[in-house]
Amino acid sequence: MGSDEVIEMQDVWKSYPNGAHALQGVSVKIDRNEFVYVVGPSGAGKSTFMKLIYREEVPTKGQISVNGFNIGKLKPRKIPYVRRNIGVVFQDFRLLPKLTAYENVAFAMEVIETPTKQMKKRVMEVLELVGLREKAGRQPAQLSGGEQQRIAIARAIVNNPSVIIADEPTGNLDPETSWDIMQLLDEINFRGTTIVMATHNKDIVNKMRKRVIAIENGQIVRDQVRGEYGYDF
Amino acid sequence: MDMTFRTFLRHMREGVKSIFRNGWMSVASITSIVISLFILGVFILLVLNVNALADKADSNVQVSAYLNLNVDQELRERVEKEIAIMPEVKEIRFVSKDEGMKDLTESFGTEGQDLLDGFTNEDTNPLPDSFIINVVEPTTVPAVAQKVESLNETYPEKPIMRVKYGEGTVEKLFEITKYVRNIGFIFVAGLGLMSMFLISNTIRVTILARRREISIMKLVGATNTFIRWPFFVEGALIGLIGSLITVGALFLGYSQLHQALIGDITLSQSLIPLSEIWHLLGGLLLLLGMLIGIWGSTMSIRKSLKV
């Protein structure tokens, strides 16, 4: 495996207990610093593809390595340590509701036992980067959808992960806010973080051209550099 | 992974904060612990007091058999022997009328001396000779008394003038003790079930609220230990707060009861003083409260922690 590969899948299959075959023989390599869109119809296997990367699911067959770790063979005890090098962003933000914006971001650093002083500095730094320094003391319920997603992104990048997995990050946002979020992700990518983003947003994919991987019926049917969305939905 | 002191402090802080963040859920948890422990505390106090009462009664249950004045020494010794061989009887002691008067004088104290003045010499002493009979098993007191009384049927001289023992209070006491114990158990079993239900319900609600939170924590890379600690601290604190409230309420109520009973000397004296039991009862309830709290919070996150 080359040192530039952040994610590599080799003939990955995933079936669920209910009999659904979510992925059927997927092989792909994603290099350091790439920005990849994952597109395709609902239920085609995009989410499974993403979940396998951050070890929410285990492949039925095949091998996945992320940052050089064989993810499928990972002992449950080791999972937290691998996740610390992967930032995740979701459509529904997934912030801890009772914590403030600051505390939500800081949580990711407390987990790796960062010294307090260093943590305060870094959290304010990323809050600055996502433009929410002044709203650090607010709880998620007091923030707009776009702001909550910014906090989620701040949390995802605070520990300088090598890769960010974003599952429909703009799915709950209006077009204008979506563009703001995309600018932010682009900036993060520019600073050296690999981004894998599942999306249904045709507009974004076609305007902000990046590598496009299309999944249909559990298989990769298209993999284009600077590709386009390619669907009508 | 060894925990740094900083992280340990963080868990403590988070545990405390969490109680406030969870607001009404914390109040509900504390309430259910208070209710359960209060029931238990009342029961313990009840049992302790009933036992103490029974003990006191145990040491008091003697049968006094007063002899008729016409009983001579030979007859008295025969009767004494006959009573002594009854299987229920532990010991029998003869108390002559002189000794009886001495006992009486002593128990009257200095102030009562005058009252007895004219009766203390041998000729004027109005007391009869008597036997003091101690039984092995307190519950057999009434039976022994009856047996002694029926000696009048075997001896034509009818040596027994009168048999005395607690005059019904003994039977009543044992009856009450039995009822209190039985009813107490049923009462506590029922209410205990109710409080278990209360606590497990609180836990169930918390499980739902926490499942999502825990899944988020895990996505960020928190280990199970890291997630568990603040919950552990929170549970212990909730248990501690709950048991402190309970102990406070229980002790206040008990001393109020003591106050209210002061008018009635026998009742207030038969209540165990708080100073004799507070450390044991308080310690037990605090310990139990914390255990329940920790158990509850552990239960509420256990399922969510499974990978």
Binary contact (A98, B7; C-beta < 8 A): no
Of A77, A81, A108, the CB nearest to B220: A108
pLDDT of residue B58: 60
Among B4, B21, B222, the residue with its CB nearest the CB of A98 is B21
Q: What is the 3-state secondary structure (H, E, C) of B25-94?
A: HHHHHHHHHHHHHHHHHHHHHHHHHHHHHHHHHHHHCEEEEEECCCCCHHHHHHHHHHHHCCCCEEEEEE
> A88 and chain B: CB distance < 8 Å anywhere?
yes
All residues of chain B having their beta carbon less than 8 Å from the beta carbon of residue A77 are 223
Which pLDDT value is given to residue B43?
A: 82
Contact B6 A116 (CB under 8 A): yes
Give the 3-state secondary structure of residue A78: helix
- Using CB atoms, pick whichever of B21, B217, B219 lies closest to residue A88: B219
**Rounded to two decimals, what is the model's pTM?**
0.74
In this prediction, residues B178-183 reach a mean pLDDT of 75
Min mean pLDDT across A69-78, A106-115, A178-187 is at A69-78
Handedness of CA A64, A69, A73, A76 (dihedral sign): negative
CB atoms near residue B305 (< 10 Å): 19
Asked if pLDDT for residue B165 goes beyond 90, the answer is: no
Query: Between the ranges A4-18, B68-82, B120-134, where is the mean pLDDT highest?
Result: A4-18
The helix/strand/coil state of A118 is helix
- For residue B20, list chain A residues with Cβ-Cβ distance below 8 A: none
Nearest to B307 among A79, A82, A112 (CB): A79
CA distance A206 to chain B (A): 30
Work out the average pLDDT over B145-153.
87
Size of interface A-B (CB pairs under 8 A): 52
Nearest CA in chain A to B221: A80
Mutate to test the interface with A, among B3, B219, B228 (most CBs of A within 10 A): B219
Q: Classify residue B107 as exposed, middle or buried by CB count within 10 Å of its CB (0-12, 13-18, 19+).
A: exposed
Give A83's contacts in chain B (Cβ within 8 Å).
218-221
Look at residue B204 in the predicted model and tell me its pLDDT. 75
Interface of B with A (CB under 8 A): 4, 6-7, 10, 18, 21-22, 213, 216-223, 226, 307
Q: Annotate B95-104 with b (16+ C-beta within 10 A) or e (fewer).
A: bebeebbeeb
In this predicted structure, the answer to whether residue B171 has a pLDDT above a threshold of 80 is: no
- Between B258 and A171, residue with greater pLDDT: A171
Comparing CA positions, the residue from B185, B212, B206 lying closest to residue B293 is B206
ipTM of the complex: 0.91
Answer yes or no: is pLDDT of B11 > 80: yes
The three-state secondary structure class of A75 is coil
Average pLDDT (B184-207) is 75
pLDDT digits (tens, 9 = 90+) for B57-102: 666 667 888 888 888 888 888 888 888 888 888 888 888 888 888 7
Q: Is the pLDDT of residue B141 over 90?
A: no
Average pLDDT, chain B: 82
Write a three-state SS string for A134-186.
HHCCCCHHHCCHHHHHHHHHHHHHCCCCCEEEEECCCCCCCHHHHHHHHHHHH
Quick check: B166 pLDDT over 70? no
Q: From the list B21, B222, B307, which residue is nearest A76 (CB)?
A: B307
Q: Which chain A residue is nearest to residue B227, measuring alpha carbons? A: A111
pLDDT at B128 over 90: no
B189 versus A88: the higher-pLDDT residue is A88
Mean pLDDT for chain A?
94
Residue in A51, A89, A92, A96 to test binding to B, most B beta-carbons within 10 Å = A96
- Residue A152 sits at the chain B interface (C-beta within 8 Å): no
Give pLDDT, residue A1. 43
When CB atoms are compared, the residue of B22, B216, B307 closest to A94 is: B216
Contact between B131 and B68 (Cβ < 8 Å): no
**B223: chain A residues, CB-CB within 8 Å:** 77, 80, 111
Instruction: Return the minimum-mean-pLDDT range out of B145-149, B172-176, B237-241.
Output: B172-176
Q: Hey, which residues 114-133 in chain A have their CB within 8 Å of chain B?
A: 115-116
Contacts of B15 in chain A (CB under 8 A): none
pLDDT of residue B60: 63
CA distance B274 to chain A (A): 43
Residues of B in contact with A99 (CB under 8 A): 21
A191 touches B at CB < 8 Å: no
Query: Chain A residue with minimal CA distance to B3?
Result: A113
Confidence of residue B172 (pLDDT cuts 50, 70, 90): low
Distance from CA of B42 to the nearest CA of A (A): 38
